[in-house]
């Protein structure tokens, strides 16, 4: 992990420090067009010169098969530097007086609280038992979305899928052949999954065909475990932003985010937009809030609510919307999310429910489809997902099922470009 430290006189400010996300104006609109982000920080916060700011673009991931173990961000890390034109962001800890000074700086666009997002399994059904898996099993959800027939066309070979989650158990026999690297943006924790959520989602995406265990939707896709949620299942937005930036810099094709929150900083949308504009397909769980409250149009959480993110609702094995699934105008597509069988740490298997489980079905589907249409863009893959979906609700689009249940086989065999679906405003 590349690290930057600059030395200046430290501040005597004794205020308690808060985690914040600072978004800067584009260089051409700054008062001092030659000033970089660190210089702007130092002009308002003299203490900033003593902080450790990690350059996410230079972050080193653990490569499977390389000597040694992956290392996490050091626990004394202060923040991350996101050096993108569309999202010039620094995340760090500042005092109230420093925050006030930055907010009044004309070269700063916003200073936002660094809140929390959460993994999205259904909380009262987080772990539904560890069944005995002897011979190789194709989980019901993988069959339900017609993945198996599509394998004659594509198994997603070499498509790069970043799983932003609680990490990954790269030693699991069903995952190890497909795990290319892993990195943690959670201070004090390695990329190894200490929760099970990330490993479960990864198995749904790309568990290998090896004669045992389970099979994922895209059994030859490449997995990149990006730890942005702690072993507790929660993660700060700054960690998620850093993970998305890493995905951009390392040319991931798909980002799977089985996480969410009821509100989020504008900086998260900025980094999602930057990823989308860089050609990344972002897929996110819609949330487990059920139908919208009376008078509200949506119960979809963030980042699924953003225009440039594919929001996935959950259905059961009978193709009925799950009672817990969020719904609203942002839902694009639905996938199995009830009692989903997949990998768990330690070489085992387990069932989980939630839109967290639906999301990786769509991420895996996108990998198979992209493998069948190697020169397609992220927008074309998005269109293929929607245009080929099996309609389940009202004709066309509806706020529960979106365009319908993902159909991998139909999308893999479709002609590119697919009929354009109506993207939300």
Q: Is 55 a catalytic residue?
A: no
Q: How far apart are CA 246 and CA 118, in angstroms?
A: 20
User: Half-sphere exposure (CA, 13 Å, Cβ side) for 411?
Assistant: 33
User: Half-sphere exposure (CA, 13 Å, Cβ side) for 362?
Assistant: 42
For the beta sheet containing 259-260, the strands, ordered from the edge strand earlier in sequence to the opposite edge, are 234-236, 116-119, 259-260
Q: How far apart are CA 247 and CA 224, in angstroms?
A: 9
Which 3 state secondary structure label does DSSP give 219? coil
Which 3 state secondary structure label does DSSP give 398? strand
Q: Is 13 a catalytic residue?
A: no
Which residue among the candidates 77, 181, 256, 356 is catalytic per the annotation? 356
CA-wise closest residue to 164 among 53, 271, 314: 271
Contact 135, 212 (CB under 8 A): yes
CA 130 distance to own-chain centroid: 26
Which residue among the candidates 172, 197, 200, 361 is catalytic per the annotation? 197
418-421's contacts with Cβ under 8 Å and 24+ in sequence apart are 418/380, 418/383, 418/384, 418/387, 418/388, 419/383, 419/387, 420/383, 420/387, 421/382, 421/383, 421/386, 421/387, 421/397
Q: Is 356 a catalytic residue?
A: yes
Which residue among the candidates 81, 165, 174, 409 is catalytic per the annotation? 165
> Catalytic residue positions?
165, 197, 356
């Amino acid at each position: 992990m590349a690290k930057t430290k600059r030395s200046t006189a430290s501040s005597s400010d004794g205020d308690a420090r808060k985690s914040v996300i600072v978004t800067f104006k584009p260089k051409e609109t700054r008062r001092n067009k030659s000033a970089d982000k660190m210089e702007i920080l130092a002009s308002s916060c003299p203490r900033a010169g003593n902080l450790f700011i990690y350059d996410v673009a230079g972050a080193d991931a653990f490569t499977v098969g390389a000597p040694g173990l992956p290392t996490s961000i050091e626990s004394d890390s202060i923040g991350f530097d996101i050096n993108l034109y569309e999202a010039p962001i620094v995340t760090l800890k500042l005092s109230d007086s420093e925050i006030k000074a930055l907010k009044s700086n004309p070269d700063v666009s916003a200073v936002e609280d660094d809140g929390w997002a959460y993994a999205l399994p259904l909380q009262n059904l987080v772990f539904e038992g560890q069944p005995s898996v002897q011979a190789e099993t194709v989980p019901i959800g993988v069959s339900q979305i017609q993945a198996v027939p599509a394998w004659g066309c594509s198994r997603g070979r070499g498509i790069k899928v970043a799983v932003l989650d609680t990490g990954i158990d790269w030693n699991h026999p069903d995952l190890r052949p497909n795990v290319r690297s892993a990195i943690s943006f959670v201070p004090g924790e390695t990329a190894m999954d200490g929760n099970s959520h990330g490993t479960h989602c990864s198995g749904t995406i790309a568990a290998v065909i090896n004669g045992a265990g389970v099979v994922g939707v895209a059994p030859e896709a490449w997995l990149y475990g990006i730890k942005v949620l702690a072993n507790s299942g929660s993660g700060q937005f700054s960690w998620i932003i850093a993970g998305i930036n890493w995905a951009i810099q390392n040319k991931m094709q798909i980002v799977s985010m089985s996480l969410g929150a009821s509100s989020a900083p504008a900086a998260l949308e900025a980094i999602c937009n930057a990823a989308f504009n860089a050609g990344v397909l972002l897929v996110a769980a819609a949330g487990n809030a059920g139908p919208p409250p009376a008078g509200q149009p949506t119960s979809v959480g963030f980042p699924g609510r953003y225009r440039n993110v594919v929001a996935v609702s959950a259905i059961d094995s009978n193709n009925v919307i799950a009672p817990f699934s969020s719904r609203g105008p942002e839902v694009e597509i639905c996938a199995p999310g009830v009692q989903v069988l997949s990998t768990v740490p330690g070489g085992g298997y387990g069932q989980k429910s939630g839109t967290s489980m639906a999301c990786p079905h769509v991420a895996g589907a996108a990998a198979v489809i992209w493998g069948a249409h190697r020169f397609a863009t992220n927008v074309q893959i998005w269109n293929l997902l929607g245009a080929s979906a099996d309609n389940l609700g009202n004709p066309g689009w509806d706020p529960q099922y979106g365009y319908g249940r993902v159909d991998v086989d139909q999308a893999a065999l479709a002609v590119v470009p697919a009929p354009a679906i109506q993207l939300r405003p």
